[in-house]
Amino acid sequence: MKQIVLTLTFFNLIFYAPAQSVAISEVGVTALGAYYIGDLNPFVHFKQTQPGGGLTYRLNFDQRFALRSSVAYSQVEGYDSKTGLAFQVNRNLSFKSHIFEFAAVMEFNFFDYAHGNLTRNTIGGNTRNRSAYLSPYMFGGVAFFRMNPKGRLPENDTWVELQPLGTEGQGSENNNKRPYSLGQLAIPFGVGTKCNVGKYGTLALEYGLRKTFTDFLDDVSGSYVDPDALTLTNGPLANSLSDQSLSTPGYPINGTQRGFSNNKDWYVFTSLHLTFRIGNKNLCPAAK
Rg (CA), the chain: 23
Domain housing 182? 2-16+29-287
Per-residue DSSP letter, 132:
B
pTM of the predicted structure, to 2 decimals: 0.84
Per-residue DSSP letter, 58:
E
Residue 21 lies in a domain: no
Residue 258 lies in a domain: yes
- pLDDT by position in tens, the chain (length 288): 455 444 444 444 444 444 444 678 999 999 999 999 999 999 999 999 999 999 999 999 999 999 999 999 999 999 999 999 998 999 999 999 999 999 999 999 999 998 877 665 544 444 444 578 899 999 999 999 999 999 999 888 899 999 999 999 998 888 888 999 999 999 999 999 999 998 899 999 999 999 999 999 999 999 999 888 999 999 999 999 999 988 876 666 667 889 998 899 999 999 999 999 997 555 444 444
Gap between the Cα atoms of 157 and 151, Å rounded: 10
Residue 160 lies in a domain: yes
Query: Pairing between strand 134-147 and 201-212?
Result: unpaired
Residue 107 lies in a domain: yes
CATH of the domain at 209: 2.40.160.20
Residue 23 lies in a domain: no
Task: List, in sequence order, every residue forming a beta bridge with 99; answer none if it has no partner.
Answer: 74, 147
Residue 203 lies in a domain: yes
Q: Is the distance from CB of 40 to CB of 82 less than 8 angstroms?
A: no
| Number of separate domains in the chain | 1
Residue 194 lies in a domain: yes
Query: Pairing between strand 65-79 and 121-123?
Result: unpaired
Gap between the Cα atoms of 138 and 108, Å rounded: 5
Gap between the Cα atoms of 119 and 286, Å rounded: 9
Q: How far is CA 165 from the centre of its chain?
A: 25
Residue 150 lies in a domain: yes
